[in-house]
Amino acid sequence: MTTSENKPRNVAIVGAGPVGALTAVYLANRGWNVHLYETRPDMRLPENKAKIQNRSINLALSTRGLTALKGTGLALDELIMKSGLPMRGRMLHIGQEGHLVSQDYGVHGECINSVDRAKLNEDLITAAEELNNVKVSFNLTLKRADLDKGTLEFQNKETKETVKAHADLIVGCDGAYSSVRNSLMRYVRLDFGQEYIPHGYCELSIPPKVGTDGKPEFAMDPEHLHIWPRHKFMMIALPNPDKSFTVTLFMPFANFEMIHNESDLLNFFEQYFADAITLMGKDLLIKEYFKNPKGSLVMVRANPYHYKDRCIILGDAAHSMVPFYGQGMNCGFEDVRILDTLLSEFDVKSHKEGESDTSLALALEAYTDRRAKDLKAICELALYNYTEMRHGVTSPVYLMRKKVESWLHLLVPSKVIPLYTMVSFSNRPYSEAYARHHAQGFWLTVAGGIVGLGTATALAVAGWKQRRGLADAAGLLKAAFLTAMQSAQKLVQ
Ligand code: FAD
Protein backbone atom coordinates (compact mmCIF):
# COMPACT_ATOMS: atom_id res chain seq x y z
CA MET A 1 0.00 0.00 0.00
CA THR A 2 1.39 3.39 -1.02
CA THR A 3 -0.03 5.10 2.07
CA SER A 4 2.14 3.13 4.48
CA GLU A 5 5.38 3.32 2.49
CA ASN A 6 8.22 5.41 3.81
CA LYS A 7 8.71 8.35 1.49
CA PRO A 8 10.93 11.40 1.46
CA ARG A 9 9.04 14.25 3.03
CA ASN A 10 7.70 16.96 0.70
CA VAL A 11 8.40 20.42 2.04
CA ALA A 12 7.13 23.76 0.77
CA ILE A 13 9.28 26.71 1.82
CA VAL A 14 7.58 30.04 1.27
CA GLY A 15 10.06 32.89 0.69
CA ALA A 16 13.49 32.57 -0.97
CA GLY A 17 15.14 35.32 1.06
CA PRO A 18 18.39 34.44 2.86
CA VAL A 19 16.65 32.30 5.50
CA GLY A 20 14.36 30.44 3.08
CA ALA A 21 17.24 29.61 0.73
CA LEU A 22 19.41 28.33 3.60
CA THR A 23 16.50 26.27 4.96
CA ALA A 24 16.12 24.67 1.52
CA VAL A 25 19.77 23.57 1.60
CA TYR A 26 19.52 22.14 5.13
CA LEU A 27 16.27 20.22 4.50
CA ALA A 28 17.43 18.95 1.12
CA ASN A 29 20.59 17.66 2.86
CA ARG A 30 18.25 15.44 4.89
CA GLY A 31 17.01 13.86 1.66
CA TRP A 32 13.66 15.68 1.74
CA ASN A 33 12.03 17.01 -1.42
CA VAL A 34 12.01 20.78 -1.21
CA HIS A 35 10.03 23.28 -3.25
CA LEU A 36 11.03 26.89 -2.62
CA TYR A 37 8.43 29.50 -3.62
CA GLU A 38 9.28 33.18 -4.05
CA THR A 39 7.01 36.11 -4.89
CA ARG A 40 9.77 38.15 -6.55
CA PRO A 41 11.18 37.41 -9.98
CA ASP A 42 14.52 35.61 -10.17
CA MET A 43 16.93 38.33 -9.07
CA ARG A 44 19.88 36.53 -10.63
CA LEU A 45 18.60 37.51 -14.08
CA PRO A 46 20.02 40.89 -15.14
CA GLU A 47 16.62 42.17 -16.36
CA ASN A 48 15.17 41.75 -12.85
CA LYS A 49 17.95 43.30 -10.78
CA ALA A 50 16.81 46.91 -10.98
CA LYS A 51 13.18 45.98 -10.15
CA ILE A 52 13.85 44.47 -6.76
CA GLN A 53 16.62 46.40 -5.03
CA ASN A 54 14.58 47.81 -2.18
CA ARG A 55 16.28 46.49 0.98
CA SER A 56 19.61 47.51 2.48
CA ILE A 57 22.47 46.86 0.07
CA ASN A 58 24.92 45.30 2.48
CA LEU A 59 24.69 43.79 5.92
CA ALA A 60 26.93 42.51 8.67
CA LEU A 61 27.50 38.77 8.82
CA SER A 62 28.96 37.44 12.05
CA THR A 63 29.68 34.18 13.87
CA ARG A 64 26.13 32.80 14.17
CA GLY A 65 25.45 33.32 10.47
CA LEU A 66 28.81 31.88 9.47
CA THR A 67 28.34 28.83 11.71
CA ALA A 68 24.98 28.07 10.10
CA LEU A 69 26.40 28.52 6.59
CA LYS A 70 29.27 26.18 7.45
CA GLY A 71 26.81 23.65 8.91
CA THR A 72 25.47 22.91 5.42
CA GLY A 73 28.70 21.02 4.73
CA LEU A 74 28.93 22.84 1.39
CA ALA A 75 31.49 25.46 2.49
CA LEU A 76 28.87 28.18 2.00
CA ASP A 77 30.61 30.28 4.67
CA GLU A 78 33.74 30.33 2.51
CA LEU A 79 31.74 31.09 -0.62
CA ILE A 80 30.02 34.09 0.98
CA MET A 81 33.21 35.32 2.65
CA LYS A 82 35.05 35.40 -0.69
CA SER A 83 33.56 38.84 -1.19
CA GLY A 84 33.04 39.73 2.50
CA LEU A 85 34.96 42.65 4.00
CA PRO A 86 36.03 42.20 7.64
CA MET A 87 35.35 45.13 9.97
CA ARG A 88 37.32 44.97 13.23
CA GLY A 89 35.65 47.85 15.02
CA ARG A 90 33.55 50.95 15.01
CA MET A 91 34.97 54.22 13.72
CA LEU A 92 33.15 57.05 15.43
CA HIS A 93 32.84 60.37 13.63
CA ILE A 94 32.51 62.68 16.61
CA GLY A 95 31.25 66.24 16.44
CA GLN A 96 30.55 68.43 13.46
CA GLU A 97 34.07 68.13 12.09
CA GLY A 98 33.99 64.30 12.29
CA HIS A 99 36.90 63.74 14.70
CA LEU A 100 37.73 60.00 14.34
CA VAL A 101 37.80 57.55 17.27
CA SER A 102 38.29 53.81 16.69
CA GLN A 103 36.73 51.22 19.06
CA ASP A 104 37.65 47.58 18.42
CA TYR A 105 34.79 45.07 18.57
CA GLY A 106 36.81 42.41 20.34
CA VAL A 107 40.04 42.25 22.33
CA HIS A 108 41.43 39.52 20.08
CA GLY A 109 40.84 41.29 16.76
CA GLU A 110 37.48 39.62 16.07
CA CYS A 111 35.63 41.00 13.04
CA ILE A 112 32.12 41.23 11.70
CA ASN A 113 31.86 41.14 7.92
CA SER A 114 30.24 43.45 5.43
CA VAL A 115 28.55 41.36 2.74
CA ASP A 116 26.47 42.22 -0.29
CA ARG A 117 22.89 41.25 0.60
CA ALA A 118 21.75 40.55 -2.97
CA LYS A 119 24.82 38.48 -3.81
CA LEU A 120 24.48 36.46 -0.60
CA ASN A 121 20.83 35.75 -1.40
CA GLU A 122 21.62 34.84 -5.00
CA ASP A 123 24.50 32.54 -3.97
CA LEU A 124 22.26 30.72 -1.48
CA ILE A 125 19.46 30.25 -4.03
CA THR A 126 21.98 28.87 -6.51
CA ALA A 127 23.44 26.54 -3.86
CA ALA A 128 19.92 25.25 -3.10
CA GLU A 129 19.01 24.88 -6.76
CA GLU A 130 22.15 22.86 -7.45
CA LEU A 131 20.82 20.10 -5.16
CA ASN A 132 18.75 17.71 -7.22
CA ASN A 133 15.93 17.51 -4.66
CA VAL A 134 15.29 21.29 -4.60
CA LYS A 135 13.01 23.13 -7.00
CA VAL A 136 12.72 26.92 -6.99
CA SER A 137 9.72 28.80 -8.42
CA PHE A 138 9.59 32.59 -8.76
CA ASN A 139 6.74 35.07 -9.23
CA LEU A 140 4.47 33.00 -6.98
CA THR A 141 2.83 34.77 -4.07
CA LEU A 142 1.29 32.66 -1.32
CA LYS A 143 -2.33 33.65 -0.84
CA ARG A 144 -3.54 31.01 1.59
CA ALA A 145 -2.55 27.73 3.16
CA ASP A 146 -4.56 24.96 4.80
CA LEU A 147 -2.14 23.57 7.34
CA ASP A 148 -4.13 20.43 8.21
CA LYS A 149 -4.54 19.43 4.58
CA GLY A 150 -1.06 20.71 3.64
CA THR A 151 -2.41 22.67 0.68
CA LEU A 152 -1.07 25.99 -0.55
CA GLU A 153 -2.55 28.44 -3.01
CA PHE A 154 -0.28 30.86 -4.88
CA GLN A 155 -0.96 33.56 -7.41
CA ASN A 156 1.38 33.93 -10.36
CA LYS A 157 2.30 37.61 -10.39
CA GLU A 158 2.63 37.78 -14.16
CA THR A 159 -0.23 35.66 -15.41
CA LYS A 160 -2.47 36.13 -12.33
CA GLU A 161 -3.20 32.41 -12.49
CA THR A 162 -3.80 30.41 -9.32
CA VAL A 163 -1.21 27.73 -8.67
CA LYS A 164 -2.00 24.99 -6.15
CA ALA A 165 0.53 22.86 -4.29
CA HIS A 166 0.67 20.23 -1.58
CA ALA A 167 3.29 19.61 1.10
CA ASP A 168 3.76 17.48 4.22
CA LEU A 169 5.48 20.39 5.94
CA ILE A 170 5.07 24.12 5.24
CA VAL A 171 7.96 26.39 6.28
CA GLY A 172 7.25 30.13 6.43
CA CYS A 173 10.39 32.13 5.60
CA ASP A 174 8.39 34.95 4.05
CA GLY A 175 9.65 37.84 6.12
CA ALA A 176 8.16 40.34 8.55
CA TYR A 177 4.76 40.47 6.82
CA SER A 178 4.50 36.68 6.57
CA SER A 179 1.47 35.10 4.94
CA VAL A 180 2.34 31.71 6.43
CA ARG A 181 2.23 33.32 9.88
CA ASN A 182 -1.23 34.70 9.05
CA SER A 183 -2.37 31.16 8.26
CA LEU A 184 -0.68 29.75 11.37
CA MET A 185 -2.70 32.16 13.50
CA ARG A 186 -5.88 30.37 12.54
CA TYR A 187 -4.60 27.04 13.87
CA VAL A 188 -2.83 27.88 17.12
CA ARG A 189 -3.33 30.42 19.89
CA LEU A 190 -0.52 32.53 18.52
CA ASP A 191 0.62 35.45 20.65
CA PHE A 192 1.55 38.14 18.20
CA GLY A 193 2.84 41.69 18.38
CA GLN A 194 3.95 44.19 15.77
CA GLU A 195 5.51 47.53 16.61
CA TYR A 196 7.00 50.26 14.46
CA ILE A 197 9.71 52.37 16.06
CA PRO A 198 9.44 56.11 15.34
CA HIS A 199 12.70 55.95 13.39
CA GLY A 200 13.09 55.14 9.72
CA TYR A 201 16.10 54.82 7.42
CA CYS A 202 17.37 56.13 4.14
CA GLU A 203 20.26 54.66 2.16
CA LEU A 204 22.96 56.88 0.70
CA SER A 205 26.49 56.18 -0.50
CA ILE A 206 30.09 57.29 -0.41
CA PRO A 207 31.71 56.60 -3.78
CA PRO A 208 35.34 55.44 -4.11
CA LYS A 209 37.94 58.17 -4.42
CA VAL A 210 40.54 58.13 -7.16
CA GLY A 211 43.88 56.86 -5.83
CA THR A 212 47.31 58.21 -6.75
CA ASP A 213 47.62 55.48 -9.40
CA GLY A 214 44.27 56.49 -10.89
CA LYS A 215 42.53 53.37 -9.46
CA PRO A 216 39.48 53.55 -7.16
CA GLU A 217 40.24 53.59 -3.43
CA PHE A 218 38.15 53.58 -0.28
CA ALA A 219 37.41 57.13 0.86
CA MET A 220 37.51 55.99 4.53
CA ASP A 221 39.12 53.14 6.48
CA PRO A 222 37.36 49.98 5.17
CA GLU A 223 38.17 47.88 8.26
CA HIS A 224 35.59 49.71 10.33
CA LEU A 225 31.86 50.13 10.50
CA HIS A 226 31.64 53.92 10.53
CA ILE A 227 29.17 55.59 12.87
CA TRP A 228 28.15 59.21 13.18
CA PRO A 229 26.41 59.11 16.59
CA ARG A 230 24.20 62.17 17.02
CA HIS A 231 22.24 61.12 20.15
CA LYS A 232 18.68 61.26 18.75
CA PHE A 233 19.72 59.84 15.39
CA MET A 234 22.76 58.40 13.65
CA MET A 235 24.32 57.53 10.35
CA ILE A 236 26.39 54.41 9.64
CA ALA A 237 28.52 53.24 6.70
CA LEU A 238 29.67 49.75 5.67
CA PRO A 239 32.31 49.08 2.98
CA ASN A 240 31.58 47.35 -0.34
CA PRO A 241 33.98 45.32 -2.53
CA ASP A 242 33.81 48.03 -5.26
CA LYS A 243 35.43 50.40 -2.70
CA SER A 244 32.28 52.40 -2.11
CA PHE A 245 30.45 52.59 1.23
CA THR A 246 26.73 52.07 1.73
CA VAL A 247 25.57 54.72 4.16
CA THR A 248 22.36 54.42 6.19
CA LEU A 249 20.82 57.43 7.89
CA PHE A 250 18.58 56.36 10.79
CA MET A 251 16.38 59.03 12.31
CA PRO A 252 12.83 59.73 13.46
CA PHE A 253 10.34 60.11 10.59
CA ALA A 254 9.56 63.53 12.10
CA ASN A 255 13.11 64.64 11.17
CA PHE A 256 12.88 63.21 7.65
CA GLU A 257 9.65 65.16 7.23
CA MET A 258 11.41 68.43 8.11
CA ILE A 259 13.67 68.15 5.06
CA HIS A 260 11.69 69.51 2.12
CA ASN A 261 14.30 70.66 -0.36
CA GLU A 262 18.00 70.68 -1.26
CA SER A 263 18.85 73.58 0.99
CA ASP A 264 17.13 71.94 4.03
CA LEU A 265 19.13 68.80 3.33
CA LEU A 266 22.48 70.56 2.97
CA ASN A 267 21.88 72.68 6.09
CA PHE A 268 21.03 69.55 8.04
CA PHE A 269 24.13 67.70 6.82
CA GLU A 270 26.37 70.74 7.43
CA GLN A 271 25.10 70.90 11.00
CA TYR A 272 25.45 67.18 11.81
CA PHE A 273 27.51 65.34 9.21
CA ALA A 274 29.79 67.96 7.64
CA ASP A 275 32.66 65.52 7.01
CA ALA A 276 30.28 63.17 5.20
CA ILE A 277 29.25 65.86 2.69
CA THR A 278 32.83 66.02 1.46
CA LEU A 279 33.00 62.23 1.21
CA MET A 280 29.65 61.81 -0.55
CA GLY A 281 29.71 64.88 -2.74
CA LYS A 282 26.77 67.31 -2.63
CA ASP A 283 25.22 66.23 -5.93
CA LEU A 284 25.17 62.53 -5.09
CA LEU A 285 23.84 63.23 -1.60
CA ILE A 286 20.95 65.30 -2.98
CA LYS A 287 20.19 62.79 -5.73
CA GLU A 288 20.15 59.75 -3.45
CA TYR A 289 18.38 61.37 -0.50
CA PHE A 290 15.40 62.47 -2.59
CA LYS A 291 15.32 59.36 -4.79
CA ASN A 292 15.70 56.61 -2.19
CA PRO A 293 12.74 55.43 -0.12
CA LYS A 294 12.50 56.12 3.60
CA GLY A 295 12.13 52.63 5.05
CA SER A 296 10.31 51.86 8.27
CA LEU A 297 11.59 49.60 11.02
CA VAL A 298 9.21 47.03 12.38
CA MET A 299 9.52 44.62 15.27
CA VAL A 300 7.47 41.43 15.14
CA ARG A 301 7.15 38.88 17.88
CA ALA A 302 5.19 35.66 17.69
CA ASN A 303 4.84 32.51 19.76
CA PRO A 304 4.54 29.59 19.14
CA TYR A 305 6.44 29.18 15.87
CA HIS A 306 4.92 25.87 14.82
CA TYR A 307 1.74 23.84 14.35
CA LYS A 308 1.88 20.09 15.03
CA ASP A 309 4.08 18.41 12.40
CA ARG A 310 2.63 20.64 9.66
CA CYS A 311 4.14 24.11 9.81
CA ILE A 312 6.96 26.24 11.21
CA ILE A 313 7.97 29.88 10.73
CA LEU A 314 11.63 30.97 10.71
CA GLY A 315 13.64 34.18 10.28
CA ASP A 316 11.88 37.54 10.10
CA ALA A 317 8.52 35.78 9.74
CA ALA A 318 8.93 34.71 13.37
CA HIS A 319 10.97 37.57 14.84
CA SER A 320 11.60 40.73 12.89
CA MET A 321 13.91 42.96 14.92
CA VAL A 322 15.38 46.43 14.52
CA PRO A 323 18.73 46.21 12.69
CA PHE A 324 20.97 47.78 15.35
CA TYR A 325 22.76 44.65 16.52
CA GLY A 326 23.28 43.41 12.96
CA GLN A 327 21.67 40.14 14.02
CA GLY A 328 18.38 39.81 12.07
CA MET A 329 19.74 37.56 9.36
CA ASN A 330 22.38 35.99 11.59
CA CYS A 331 19.64 34.99 14.01
CA GLY A 332 17.47 33.69 11.14
CA PHE A 333 20.38 31.51 9.98
CA GLU A 334 20.79 30.28 13.54
CA ASP A 335 17.05 29.35 13.56
CA VAL A 336 17.75 27.01 10.66
CA ARG A 337 20.80 25.43 12.31
CA ILE A 338 18.92 24.86 15.55
CA LEU A 339 15.91 23.38 13.77
CA ASP A 340 18.25 21.00 11.96
CA THR A 341 19.89 19.98 15.26
CA LEU A 342 16.46 19.23 16.75
CA LEU A 343 15.40 17.20 13.70
CA SER A 344 18.46 15.03 14.33
CA GLU A 345 17.92 14.96 18.08
CA PHE A 346 14.35 13.71 17.61
CA ASP A 347 15.46 11.31 14.90
CA VAL A 348 13.08 12.74 12.30
CA LYS A 349 13.66 10.78 9.12
CA SER A 350 11.38 9.56 6.38
CA HIS A 351 7.66 9.89 6.41
CA LYS A 352 4.69 7.60 6.00
CA GLU A 353 2.37 9.35 3.61
CA GLY A 354 -1.01 10.25 5.02
CA GLU A 355 0.11 9.71 8.61
CA SER A 356 1.03 12.34 11.16
CA ASP A 357 4.59 12.21 12.38
CA THR A 358 5.11 12.29 16.12
CA SER A 359 8.87 12.75 16.00
CA LEU A 360 8.55 15.80 13.73
CA ALA A 361 5.76 17.25 15.89
CA LEU A 362 7.98 16.82 18.96
CA ALA A 363 10.98 18.39 17.22
CA LEU A 364 8.94 21.43 16.17
CA GLU A 365 7.51 21.75 19.67
CA ALA A 366 11.01 21.58 21.14
CA TYR A 367 12.05 24.30 18.69
CA THR A 368 9.37 26.66 19.98
CA ASP A 369 10.22 25.80 23.59
CA ARG A 370 13.97 26.28 23.23
CA ARG A 371 14.02 29.21 20.87
CA ALA A 372 11.41 31.51 22.41
CA LYS A 373 13.56 32.97 25.20
CA ASP A 374 16.52 33.49 22.86
CA LEU A 375 14.45 35.31 20.26
CA LYS A 376 12.90 37.51 22.94
CA ALA A 377 16.37 38.33 24.25
CA ILE A 378 17.89 39.30 20.89
CA CYS A 379 14.88 41.46 19.94
CA GLU A 380 15.34 43.38 23.19
CA LEU A 381 19.10 43.64 22.74
CA ALA A 382 18.69 44.93 19.19
CA LEU A 383 16.47 47.74 20.41
CA TYR A 384 18.79 48.55 23.30
CA ASN A 385 21.77 48.73 20.94
CA TYR A 386 20.21 51.62 19.05
CA THR A 387 20.60 53.84 22.10
CA GLU A 388 24.13 52.55 22.53
CA MET A 389 25.12 53.24 18.92
CA ARG A 390 23.62 56.69 18.55
CA HIS A 391 24.33 57.92 22.07
CA GLY A 392 26.10 55.50 24.46
CA VAL A 393 29.29 55.20 22.42
CA THR A 394 30.08 58.86 23.12
CA SER A 395 29.44 58.76 26.88
CA PRO A 396 32.52 58.71 29.19
CA VAL A 397 30.74 56.32 31.62
CA TYR A 398 30.04 53.89 28.77
CA LEU A 399 33.61 54.15 27.52
CA MET A 400 34.99 53.57 31.04
CA ARG A 401 32.82 50.49 31.46
CA LYS A 402 33.89 49.18 28.05
CA LYS A 403 37.58 49.64 28.93
CA VAL A 404 37.22 47.94 32.30
CA GLU A 405 35.21 45.14 30.67
CA SER A 406 37.87 44.60 27.98
CA TRP A 407 40.71 44.56 30.53
CA LEU A 408 38.87 42.12 32.73
CA HIS A 409 38.03 39.96 29.73
CA LEU A 410 41.75 39.77 28.94
CA LEU A 411 42.64 39.05 32.56
CA VAL A 412 39.81 36.66 33.46
CA PRO A 413 38.25 35.56 30.16
CA SER A 414 36.16 32.84 31.77
CA LYS A 415 34.52 35.32 34.16
CA VAL A 416 33.94 38.47 32.12
CA ILE A 417 32.86 38.44 28.49
CA PRO A 418 31.67 41.65 26.82
CA LEU A 419 28.08 41.48 25.61
CA TYR A 420 29.06 42.34 22.04
CA THR A 421 31.51 39.42 22.02
CA MET A 422 28.86 36.99 23.27
CA VAL A 423 26.28 38.17 20.73
CA SER A 424 28.43 38.65 17.64
CA PHE A 425 31.39 36.32 18.11
CA SER A 426 29.87 33.25 19.73
CA ASN A 427 26.99 30.81 19.33
CA ARG A 428 26.06 31.07 23.01
CA PRO A 429 22.24 31.25 23.31
CA TYR A 430 21.12 34.89 23.22
CA SER A 431 19.20 34.53 26.48
CA GLU A 432 22.32 33.25 28.24
CA ALA A 433 24.34 36.16 26.86
CA TYR A 434 21.67 38.58 28.04
CA ALA A 435 21.49 37.06 31.54
CA ARG A 436 25.25 36.91 31.87
CA HIS A 437 25.60 40.52 30.79
CA HIS A 438 23.23 41.58 33.56
CA ALA A 439 25.01 39.43 36.13
CA GLN A 440 28.37 40.87 35.07
CA GLY A 441 26.94 44.38 35.16
CA PHE A 442 26.92 44.46 38.95
CA TRP A 443 30.53 43.30 39.26
CA LEU A 444 31.66 45.60 36.47
CA THR A 445 30.11 48.55 38.24
CA VAL A 446 31.90 47.54 41.45
CA ALA A 447 35.15 46.92 39.56
CA GLY A 448 34.76 50.21 37.68
CA GLY A 449 34.11 51.94 40.99
CA ILE A 450 37.28 50.47 42.49
CA VAL A 451 39.33 51.49 39.45
CA GLY A 452 37.79 54.97 39.53
CA LEU A 453 38.30 55.32 43.28
CA GLY A 454 41.82 53.92 43.09
CA THR A 455 42.71 56.31 40.30
CA ALA A 456 41.20 59.29 42.14
CA THR A 457 43.05 58.34 45.34
CA ALA A 458 46.29 57.91 43.41
CA LEU A 459 45.81 61.31 41.80
CA ALA A 460 45.21 62.94 45.18
CA VAL A 461 48.24 61.23 46.76
CA ALA A 462 50.39 62.01 43.72
CA GLY A 463 49.39 65.67 43.88
CA TRP A 464 50.12 65.82 47.60
CA LYS A 465 53.52 64.12 47.19
CA GLN A 466 54.45 66.19 44.20
CA ARG A 467 53.74 69.37 46.15
CA ARG A 468 56.24 68.10 48.70
CA GLY A 469 58.64 66.79 46.01
CA LEU A 470 58.38 63.28 47.52
CA ALA A 471 58.12 60.96 44.57
CA ASP A 472 57.65 60.50 40.88
CA ALA A 473 53.96 61.33 40.46
CA ALA A 474 53.47 59.41 37.22
CA GLY A 475 55.05 56.24 38.65
CA LEU A 476 52.92 56.47 41.74
CA LEU A 477 49.80 56.99 39.72
CA LYS A 478 50.58 53.94 37.56
CA ALA A 479 51.27 51.78 40.62
CA ALA A 480 48.03 52.83 42.29
CA PHE A 481 46.06 52.23 39.10
CA LEU A 482 47.52 48.73 38.73
CA THR A 483 46.71 47.96 42.37
CA ALA A 484 43.13 49.10 41.73
CA MET A 485 42.92 46.88 38.62
CA GLN A 486 44.27 43.89 40.56
CA SER A 487 41.66 44.42 43.27
CA ALA A 488 38.96 44.57 40.61
CA GLN A 489 40.31 41.39 39.04
CA LYS A 490 40.32 39.57 42.43
CA LEU A 491 36.78 40.68 42.98
CA VAL A 492 35.42 39.07 39.83
CA GLN A 493 37.48 35.87 40.22
P1 FAD B 1 13.39 38.42 4.10
O2 FAD B 1 14.77 38.84 3.79
O3 FAD B 1 12.37 39.48 4.32
O4 FAD B 1 12.91 37.46 2.92
C5 FAD B 1 11.57 37.04 2.82
C6 FAD B 1 11.33 36.55 1.41
O7 FAD B 1 9.98 36.07 1.31
C8 FAD B 1 11.48 37.66 0.39
O9 FAD B 1 12.27 37.21 -0.66
C10 FAD B 1 10.04 37.95 -0.04
O11 FAD B 1 9.96 38.42 -1.36
C12 FAD B 1 9.40 36.58 0.13
N13 FAD B 1 7.93 36.63 0.35
C14 FAD B 1 7.27 37.49 1.18
N15 FAD B 1 5.94 37.22 1.14
C16 FAD B 1 5.79 36.18 0.28
C17 FAD B 1 4.64 35.45 -0.17
N18 FAD B 1 3.39 35.75 0.27
N19 FAD B 1 4.81 34.45 -1.06
C20 FAD B 1 6.06 34.11 -1.50
N21 FAD B 1 7.18 34.78 -1.10
C22 FAD B 1 7.04 35.79 -0.22
N23 FAD B 1 20.59 41.49 9.58
C24 FAD B 1 21.85 41.08 9.88
O25 FAD B 1 22.06 39.93 10.28
N26 FAD B 1 22.90 41.95 9.79
C27 FAD B 1 22.74 43.25 9.39
O28 FAD B 1 23.71 44.00 9.33
C29 FAD B 1 21.43 43.69 9.06
N30 FAD B 1 21.23 44.96 8.63
C31 FAD B 1 19.98 45.37 8.30
C32 FAD B 1 19.77 46.69 7.89
C33 FAD B 1 18.50 47.13 7.58
C34 FAD B 1 18.31 48.56 7.16
C35 FAD B 1 17.40 46.24 7.67
C36 FAD B 1 16.02 46.70 7.35
C37 FAD B 1 17.59 44.93 8.08
C38 FAD B 1 18.87 44.48 8.41
N39 FAD B 1 19.11 43.16 8.83
C40 FAD B 1 20.36 42.75 9.17
C41 FAD B 1 18.00 42.21 8.98
C42 FAD B 1 17.90 41.27 7.78
O43 FAD B 1 17.74 42.02 6.61
C44 FAD B 1 16.72 40.34 7.96
O45 FAD B 1 16.72 39.79 9.24
C46 FAD B 1 16.80 39.20 6.93
O47 FAD B 1 16.68 39.72 5.64
C48 FAD B 1 15.68 38.21 7.19
O49 FAD B 1 15.71 37.22 6.22
P50 FAD B 1 14.39 36.40 5.89
O51 FAD B 1 14.79 35.48 4.78
O52 FAD B 1 13.81 35.85 7.13
O53 FAD B 1 13.33 37.49 5.38
Top CATH class, 2-84+112-194+298-389: alpha beta
Stretch among 55-59, 152-156, 358-362 having the lowest mean pLDDT: 55-59
Express each pLDDT in 150-176 by its tens digit: 999 999 999 999 999 999 999 999 999
pLDDT of the residue at 307 = 98
CA atoms within 13 A on the CB side of 245: 26
**Average pLDDT value for residue range 320-333:** 97
| Backbone dihedral region for residue 175 (phi beyond 0: left; psi -120 to 50: alpha; all else: beta) | left
Percent of the chain with pLDDT strictly greater than 90:
74
CB of 18 within 6 A of ligand 1: the answer is yes
pLDDT bucket at 97, cuts 50 / 70 / 90: confident
Substitution candidate for ligand 1 out of 57, 113, 316 with most atoms within 8 A of CB: 316
Beta carbon of 239 within 6 Å of any ligand 1 atom: no
Query: Residue 37's pLDDT is what?
Result: 98
Average pLDDT on 93-108 reads: 90
* Helical H segments across 159-261, by residue range: 179-184, 253-256
More confident position, 52 or 381: 381
454: pLDDT strictly greater than 80: no
Average pLDDT (120-146) is: 98
* 393 has pLDDT over 60: yes
Give the pLDDT mean for 110-119.
96
Tell which wins on pLDDT, 180 or 476: 180
Query: Residue 12 CA to chain centroid, in angstroms?
Result: 25
CA–centroid distance, residue 483 to ligand 1 (Å): 50
Band the pLDDT of 2: cuts 50, 70, 90.
very low
Distance of alpha carbon 112 from alpha carbon 60, whole angstroms: 6
Q: Where are the domains of the chain?
A: 2-84+112-194+298-389, 196-296, 395-492
Is this complex's ipTM strictly greater than 0.90? yes
pLDDT digits (tens, 9 = 90+) for 229-261: 999 999 999 999 999 999 999 999 999 999 999
Contact 319, 301 (CB under 8 A): yes
Cβ(172) – ligand 1 distance below 6 Å? no
Distance 323 CA to ligand 1 centre (A): 11
Does 301 contact ligand 1 (Cβ within 6 A)? no
**Pick from 312, 488, 290, 314: which is nearest to 405 by CA?**
488
